[in-house]
A = this chain, B = another copy of it.
Amino acid sequence: MNEFDLIRKYFTRPAPNTLLGIGDDAALLQVGTGNVLAVSSDMLVSGTHFLPDTDPFLLGHKTLAVNLSDIAAMGATPRWATLAIALPEADEAWLEKFSAGFFALAQQHGVDLVGGDTTRGPLNLCVTIFGEVPAQQALRRSGAQPGDEVWVSGTLGDAALALAHLQGRIELSGEELATCAQVLHQPQPRVALGLALRGIASSAIDISDGLLADLGHILEASRAGAQIDLASLPVSLAMQPHAATPPGMQCILSGGDDYELCFTAPGARHAEITAIGSRLSLRLSCIGNIVAGNGCIVHDAAGNQLNPGSGGYEHFR
């Protein structure tokens, strides 16, 4: 089976929203009138972003999910993706499961796979994703203003907590692990939330490197600071027993891979945002405020100021 057969068998599916899909030198995409294209690329490398024995179905899901999360953070509608894969060998059982996981999530979000590359090499997965958004409604990182509230979706640190358990740094019960591992292996990109926040949020980012690091990107782009209330940070039932411990707090503040959204909005939109959370059955928590200045200050319940550093995941550090 050569790469053309592989592509035909595992990666060619109907692309109903595409002018010209897989099989030419390039795909042709029609962007809707009044919309701009939102584009993002994420590369997942075996041994860096996932363990070599990761379930390929879950890996297919996650490869697309982390990219969809970027589109969600722009408030864009996901439309198309390309997928470039380097594989050590043409392992058909692996490819079948990987592509099933990829396409299950793609279908759920109406994303057409329109092109890519299949080649031999150490396992590497590179997706470029394309969304559409009216230019003025894109959720940039740079729009946060002093007085805005800071929000996060879902709960924080669960993916990092699962990883800490898998790496023997913390001990979770079976039930706790099940909850957290689901977040680590099968994150749910917050696409519907991103769309609902158009015209409401003043800035947004997805939490891939940890709350403090990613909120830090908003603050840097917006030239502003933030005050965060530790007690208001949303944690799961699985996290609760660990939340006050140093490794638990580390997960909450600096754990990557959650793929929740962190966003800011004027206080006047508070009730609307609460209503969006109810409509989407998604926990949305107001965790602090944007202030003049720079950097992020975290207070505990007693009013003491923590100095946690950003601590987000960095390659090459």
What is the interface of chain A, defined by CB distance below 8 A to chain B?
1-4, 6, 19-20, 23-31, 33, 36-43, 45-49, 70-71, 73-74, 76, 80, 82-87, 89-90, 114-122, 124, 126, 128-131, 133, 135, 138, 140-142, 204-206, 221, 314-317
A119 B43 Cβ-Cβ under 8 A: yes
A316 B116 Cβ-Cβ under 8 A: no
Bound form: Cα–Cα A26–B316 in Å: 22
Bound form: Cα–Cα A186–B4 in Å: 26
Our pick among B26, B73, B129 for the contact of A40 (Cβ within 8 Å) is: B26
Give the residues in chain B near A80, CB-CB below 8 Å.
39
Kindly name the residue among A126, A204, A314 whose own CB sees the greatest number of chain B CB atoms within 10 A: A126
Bound form: Cα–Cα A302–B161 in Å: 74
Q: If A38-B28, A138-B20 touch, does A90 touch B43 (CB 8 Å cutoff)? A: no
B316 A115 Cβ-Cβ under 8 A: no
**Copies in the assembly, this chain:** 2
A130 B23 Cβ-Cβ under 8 A: no
B135 A19 Cβ-Cβ under 8 A: yes
Give the residues in chain B near A130, CB-CB below 8 Å.
39
Bound form: Cα–Cα A37–B21 in Å: 12
Give the residues in chain B near A45, CB-CB below 8 Å.
86, 119-122, 124
Give the residues in chain B near A114, CB-CB below 8 Å.
39
Give the residues in chain B near A84, CB-CB below 8 Å.
41-43, 126
A86 B124 Cβ-Cβ under 8 A: yes
A31 B31 Cβ-Cβ under 8 A: yes
B43 A37 Cβ-Cβ under 8 A: no
Q: If A20-B138, A317-B2 touch, does A40 touch B126 (CB 8 Å cutoff)? A: no
Give the residues in chain B near A128, CB-CB below 8 Å.
39, 41, 82, 128
Closest CB in chain B relative to A91 CB, distance in Å: 10
B3 A119 Cβ-Cβ under 8 A: no
Contact sample, A vs B, 28 pairs, CB 8 Å cutoff: A2-B314, A24-B74, A24-B221, A25-B204, A25-B206, A26-B40, A26-B76, A27-B38, A28-B39, A28-B74, A29-B36, A29-B38, A30-B37, A39-B128, A41-B115, A42-B117, A43-B117, A43-B119, A45-B119, A45-B121, A45-B124, A47-B121, A48-B86, A48-B119, A48-B120, A117-B126, A119-B315, A120-B315
